[in-house]
Structure 1
Amino acid sequence: MAVEAEVLNELQRLRTRVPQLRGALAAGADGLVLARDLPDVEAEALAALTAAALGVGRRMADLAARGEFRELLVRGADGYVATYAAGHSAVLTLLADDRVNVGRLHLEGRRSGTRIAELMAATSTPDGPPRLPGGTTAPTAQGRPLGSLPLRIPPQSRYGS
């Protein structure tokens, strides 16, 4: 079974475990859709925003010295948007009603994020970057996936010094 189908199965199982979940999306750190179970939401736009949120979340966690990014929760008037890291090459975004049990949302979102990370890791080449849908590889810099590059610029390299 292709990794996309396995990720979609995980999203569908997640929606059965959390009844107030209204949508789920797995995207690459580059903003490309891996799998989606989203009614009435433009998946490509949400995937792009999710990748942007992942970048901002990673940067915030780094600058605040809080360790590696894990999750981000946005609460709107009608519910929640929760984003979870799924390894270094993917991210999981969940849309939930305002009456969702947020603890349960986090518990199940973290579990699914871990499962998606495992599925993505299984598609990585042993000595190269992760494989994306269609067999292409993730963008890299000096052989490292872009999502794994450090967020801080070392002081000695700033402003040409």
Structure 2
Amino acid sequence: MSGAERTGTTLPRRSAGATNLPTARSYPPSLAGDPSLPYPAIGRELAELRHQIPGVNGCVLGGVDGLLITHNMQTDVDPNDLAALAATTFGLGRQVGLRLGQGDFRQSTVRNDRGYLSVYAVSEQALLAVVGEDTINVARLHLHAPGVAERLAALLDGVRADA
């Protein structure tokens, strides 16, 4: 007997016409290429995170649509590819949250042989992706990055308020 059968809970099943599935919400238009963004202030936040945490190779601010907003990558990793990977990570994390009833996406970390990719929710429109070496202190990253994401969200909210 599975754990779900023992507790009497099951996940909604996918089937034609199923109405018990959670639905994804729609998101506002992309911020990529928006000339009204406070790029210098955003750049300072990304630089601060990179300098606070040894082993961070760079950060990308990307849209949930996978388009690059800005970055400070210090490697030959294509920041456009990283923005797309961050959106893919977000999409998977969002679906996990929906399917398990755990709420909105907040953060996801992928560990590989030679490094990490952590993706943090910034707003309904933006994601912060951080690339780090294998030697990075992930706990320290998880301590500092949410504050950076909150400050980035405030900067982006300021743009929406002015629009």
Structure-2-length-normalised TM-score: 0.73
Are 1:40 and 2:40 counterparts? no
Given residue 53 of structure 2, which amino acid in structure 1 is its aligned partner? V
What secondary structure does 2:160 align onto? coil
Q: What is the Cα deviation at residue 79 of structure 1?
A: 1.3
Given residue 114 of structure 2, which amino acid in structure 1 is its aligned partner? D
Structure-1-length-normalised TM-score: 0.74
Partner in structure 1 of residue 24 of structure 2: none
Rg larger in structure = 2
Partner in structure 1 of residue 23 of structure 2: none
Asked whether the 8 Å contact 1:89–1:120 carries over to 2, the reply is: no
Partner in structure 1 of residue 158 of structure 2: 122
Are 1:54 and 2:90 counterparts? yes
Distance 1:123 1:75 in 2: 34
Structure-to-structure mapping, 1:131-142, within 5 angstroms: none
Match of 1:11 among 46, 69, 88: 46
Q: What is the Cα deviation at residue 5 of structure 1?
A: 2.1
Distance 2:100 2:144 in 1: 26
Distance 2:100 2:37 in 1: 38
Q: Deviations over 1:33-84 (max 9, x none)?
A: 1110112110111111211221111111111111111000000000110000
Partner in structure 2 of residue 30 of structure 1: 65
Identity of aligned residues (%): 32
- Large movers: runs of 4+ above 3 Å: none
Asked whether the 8 Å contact 2:63–2:87 carries over to 1, the reply is: yes
Distance 1:15 1:81 in 2: 13
Distance 2:139 2:112 in 1: 17
Gaps of 5+ in 2: 1-35
What secondary structure does 2:42 align onto? helix
Q: What is the Cα deviation at residue 125 of structure 1?
A: 4.3
- Root-mean-square deviation (CA, aligned residues, Å) is 1.7
What secondary structure does 1:41 align onto? coil
Larger relative CO (CA 8 A, sep 6+): 1 or 2?
2
Gaps of 5+ in 1: 132-161
Partner in structure 2 of residue 89 of structure 1: 125
Asked whether the 8 Å contact 1:14–1:108 carries over to 2, the reply is: yes
